[in-house]
Amino acid sequence: MRLEELLAQKKTAIIDKWFDAVAETYPADTAGFIKRQKDPFSNPVGVTTQKSLFVLMDELLGEMNRDKINSFLDPIIRIRAVQDFTPSKATSFVFSLKKIIREHLNKCDFNDHLIVADLALLDQKIDLIGLMAFDIYVKCREKIYQIKATEEKNRFFCAFERAGLIKELSGGKPEPL
């Protein structure tokens, strides 16, 4: 039996454990809420994460469509970027899937050379998803810093303007006095 077939049989259990791994990266009270609350309006983080993990697992076992992976990885990472997770903590849940998969495989599965070869390929796919997650995280953080810089610039401009240190030219550009 091929690795994809073995994992497809255990898909729900693997995703449940993967979801738990994602939730455990949050503080204990938040993790408990994310795991328990199933209402999408009360718990958008948990519901979005669970939905995304199912699609990511399908892609991992299937075609590895980069656009689809990015579109479902983005909401998870975007939330974590806004919450000030470090890059490693924000993306670590992707790599935790390797351990989870190995826990769900039987010992006898590791004696099959095809399974071992497929597992090495699967690890490469997980690494690729992890790198994609890191790229998303960096883009989100860059956007956050850009927004903060623009806000600071506007705040200083308004302060200078109120203090009478800047006057507007006829072209609409500010000029220092």
121-164, pLDDT tens digit by residue? 999 999 999 999 999 999 999 999 899 888 888 888 888 777 77
Residue 104 belongs to a domain: yes
Q: Is 162 part of any domain? A: no
Domain tally, the chain = 1
Q: What is the pTM of this model?
A: 0.81
Nearest Cα to Cα of residue 93 among 141, 139, 11, 24? 24
Tell me, yes or no, whether 152 lies in a domain. Answer: no
Residue 177 has pLDDT above 90, yes or no: no
Domain range for 111 is 3-137
Does 163 fall in a domain?
A: no
- pLDDT of 165 > 80? The answer is no
| Percent of the residues in the chain that have a pLDDT greater than 70, as a whole number | 91
| Residue 129 counted as domain residue | yes
In a domain, 174, yes or no: no
The reply to whether 50 falls in a domain is yes
The answer to whether residue 144 sits within a structural domain is: no
pLDDT, tens only, 17-40: 999 999 999 999 999 999 999 898
Burial class (CB in 10 A: 0-12, 13-18, 19+), 129: buried
